[in-house]
Chain A
Amino acid sequence: DAGVIQSPRHEVTEMGQEVTLRCKPISGHNSLFWYRQTMMRGLELLIYFNNNVPIDDSGMPEDRFSAKMPNASFSTLKIQPSEPRDSAVYFCASSYRGGATGELFFGEGSRLTVL
């Protein structure tokens, strides 16, 4: 079975541009998580969805960040406008029994560089 698929793997953009990161979870998984990884702050949970519904977005740093999950097989994380401090690796993860199990399947990440 295919794992969690993220695109793009690498994105270099200039400050002020819009960035859209995409995620396809594992088929049959009903929970989806977006994490951000930086050297300074480690792994931070940004937002998670259960059955396509956003449950907790308290980790979204500010209004420039938004996430959607229009159906069970697709999610996006958008940054508009982007800033250099948004440079990080963004991971999407899915789970078939919800986050309470702690058993998440991660994608390979999208490395974002904002110049």
Chain B
Amino acid sequence: GNSVTQMEGPVTLSEEAFLTINCTYTATGYPSLFWYVQYPGEGLQLLLKATKADDKGSNKGFEATYRKETTSFHLEKGSVQVSDSAVYFCALVQGGSEKLVFGKGTKLTVNP
């Protein structure tokens, strides 16, 4: 079946550090890929998406590139802020399906 594997957290960084959160997936065909973010006490929000190979999704300084050859969709940000502290979820939806499959989430803490 379809699945998403994220790097284990938690991740703790200092402000202005570079962020990478790894995500790999298993799916048949060509899924669409997503990153969602969950701030403390809130529901998940869509952060960015990519729908085909080599697409780059970007939003709020975050980027992720759909790499079909490595089945990966790693999240990056060049300079994190304290306000980026949250849990980040990688997710996929298989073509023809309406079921979004999430990874376990990676908690990020950014210290001033």
Contact = CB atoms under 8 A, between A and B. Distances in A.
Contact of A45 (B42, B49, B89, B100): B100
A42 to B, nearest CB: 4
Contacts of B104: 42
A70 B18 CA distance: 48
- Secondary structure type dominating chain B contacts: strand
Interface stretch (A60-68, A72-80, A104-112): A104-112
Interface string A41-57: 01101001010000110
Contacts of B95: 100
Nearest to B93: A102
A31 B98 CA distance: 10
Contact of A108 (B42, B49, B105): B42
Contact of A102 (B34, B42, B103): B34
Contact of B49 (A48, A100, A102): A102
Nearest to A103: B46
Contact of B102 (A42, A101, A105): A42
Contacts of B91: 102
Interface residues of B, number: 24
A103 B46 CA distance: 7
Contacts of B41: 108
Residue picked from A48, A55, A98, A100, most chain B C-beta under 10 Å = A100
B96 to A, nearest CB: 7
Contact of B97 (A99, A103, A106): A99
B43 A106 contact: yes
A102 B101 CA distance: 9
A91 B44 contact: yes
B45 interface: yes
A36 to B, nearest CB: 11
A69 interface: no
26 contacts: A42-B102, A42-B103, A42-B105, A43-B44, A43-B89, A43-B105, A45-B101, A48-B99, A50-B98, A55-B98, A56-B98, A91-B44, A93-B43, A98-B98, A99-B98, A100-B96, A100-B98, A101-B32, A102-B34, A102-B46, A102-B49, A102-B100, A106-B45, A107-B43, A108-B42, A108-B43
